[in-house]
Amino acid sequence: MLRSTGDRVVIVGGGIAGALLAKTLQNHADVVLIDPKEYFEIPWANLRAKVDPAAVERTVIPHADYLTHAKVVTAFAVGIDDSVVLTSIGRAVAYDFLVVATGRTCNRPQKQSERLEMFHRDRERIDAAESVLIVGGGPIGVELAAEIVMKSPEKRVTLVHGGPRLLKVMGARASAKALEWLRSKHVTVLLDQTVDLAGTTPDTREFTTSASETVTADCHFVCTGRPVASGWLRESFLRDHLDEEGHLKVDDHLRVGGLKNVFAVGDITDVPEAKQGHLAQRQAMVVSRNLRLLVKGACRDEKLHRYKPCPRANITVTLGRRDALAELPFMTLIGHIPGAVKPRDLFITRTRRMMGLKSKPYGTMPRVM
């Protein structure tokens, strides 16, 4: 049992939100980060990393590189009560303050080297393929299709999407522009169709859609939405604070169910705004400031910072290195101009800088338990 110290903050989930929170709080409290991976990664660089080896190593960052004063428990949280988190390695971690930041379910290897190998394998599969199938026409599927055709225009790319239009997180105009752009790059887009993936393996070459079309492809990528990672809370004392989709209901201070010492940040919350990494980071910073006040001692609610949701999502979809699609309040732009606004390196440098990392990772190892 890892006993409480009076100012113990346990953060469950080392994604964009949990990692930033742990980093900014580590010198102000006794911080423990629980994450099944030994690293955090920059999700919006994932798709570039599949085609560009130079991007990969800067986007998968060991927790050890930015957590010099926090403890890391490499495990899943599997249960919780009002003072202790139970982990998949049998270790119980006591908390004074708890932050749930488990985002969305995702199967990732434990080690950074294994994750880097996954990227290399994906790149080799794409490089070797003459044809690629992408299932799912949200931002992830569209960005991946664009990365592939912009790097290798000769490849035959098919994008199958279950809805009537691509990018339903954006307006109809943006969907139409994305469709036109992809078709101009000779991507075959099949709308209102799904692909039966049951029984497929990475070696499957022939796929059947719900409209009985046959798609042949040397490799395929599934880019459909992932559920919220709150299954481990379903039997816990927080279960009554989950909404139907599994999001944790939070108040203005991002506290759960009015509990004074339990917070949630990032994609796991029910904050009424788009689930975006930069917003998850904003939420993490609000909780970081509040926890710094709370661990110092008595702090009245009026002194705590409030989180203001950002109802208008400002989504930019990257289309390879030069182009992008951006939805602005009065217009929707596609091409080089919005492409010039989003940095070529997809905010990798900025995100690394936020985590206190320069071009080369540095730092001492945290205590891994």
Ligand X SMILES: Cc1cc2nc3c(=O)[nH]c(=O)nc-3n(C[C@H](O)[C@H](O)[C@H](O)COP(=O)(O)OP(=O)(O)OC[C@H]3O[C@@H](n4cnc5c(N)ncnc54)[C@H](O)[C@@H]3O)c2cc1C
Distance CA 218, CA 226 (A): 24
Q: Annotate each residue in 37-76 with x if it binds ligand X (CB under 6 A) or - if it does not, as one string.
A: x-----xx-xx----------------------------x
Distance CA 233, CA 124 (A): 38
Distance CA 134, CA 226 (A): 15
Radius of gyration of the chain (CA): 21
Q: Choose the stretch contacting ligand X; rule: CB under 6 A; options: 24-32, 35-43, 53-61, 148-156.
A: 35-43
Alpha helices in 172-276, H assignment, sequence order: 172-184
The answer to whether residue 140 forms part of the interface with ligand X (CB under 6 A) is yes
CB of 293 to ligand X, least distance (A): 22
CB of 98 to ligand X, least distance (A): 12
Contact 209, 188 (CB under 8 A): no
Closer residue to ligand X, CB minimum distance, 132 or 209? 132
The answer to whether residue 339 forms part of the interface with ligand X (CB under 6 A) is no
CB of 49 to ligand X, least distance (A): 10
Contact 295, 28 (CB under 8 A): yes
Show contacts with ligand X in window 192-251 (CB under 6 A).
229, 232
CB of 102 to ligand X, least distance (A): 4
CB of 80 to ligand X, least distance (A): 10
Q: Choose the stretch contacting ligand X; rule: CB under 6 A; options: 2-10, 30-38, 246-254, 360-368.
A: 30-38
Closer residue to ligand X, CB minimum distance, 115 or 275? 275
Contact 119, 49 (CB under 8 A): yes
CB of 101 to ligand X, least distance (A): 5
CB of 120 to ligand X, least distance (A): 17
Show contacts with ligand X in window 276-295 (CB under 6 A).
276-278, 280
Closer residue to ligand X, CB minimum distance, 69 or 278? 278
Work out the end-to-end distance of the chain between its first and last CA atoms, rounded to an integer number of angstroms: 11
**E-assigned strand segments in the chain:** 8-12, 30-35, 39-41, 60-62, 71-74, 77-80, 84-87, 92-94, 97-100, 131-135, 156-160, 188-190, 206-208, 214-216, 219-222, 262-264, 316-319, 323-327, 332-335, 367-368
The residue from 11, 34, 145, 182 that contacts ligand X (CB under 6 A) is 34
The count of residues interacting with ligand X (CB under 6 A) is 32
User: 348-351: long-range contacts (C-beta < 8 A, 24 or more apart)?
Assistant: 348/42, 348/45, 348/55, 348/58, 348/59, 351/16, 351/42
The answer to whether residue 15 forms part of the interface with ligand X (CB under 6 A) is yes
Dihedral of CA 156/160/164/165: which sign? negative
Closer residue to ligand X, CB minimum distance, 104 or 156? 104
The residue from 2, 9, 13, 122 that contacts ligand X (CB under 6 A) is 13
Using CB under 6 A as the criterion, which residues of the chain lie in contact with ligand X when the complex forms? Answer: 12-18, 34-37, 43-44, 46-47, 76-77, 101-104, 140, 229, 232, 266-268, 275-278, 280
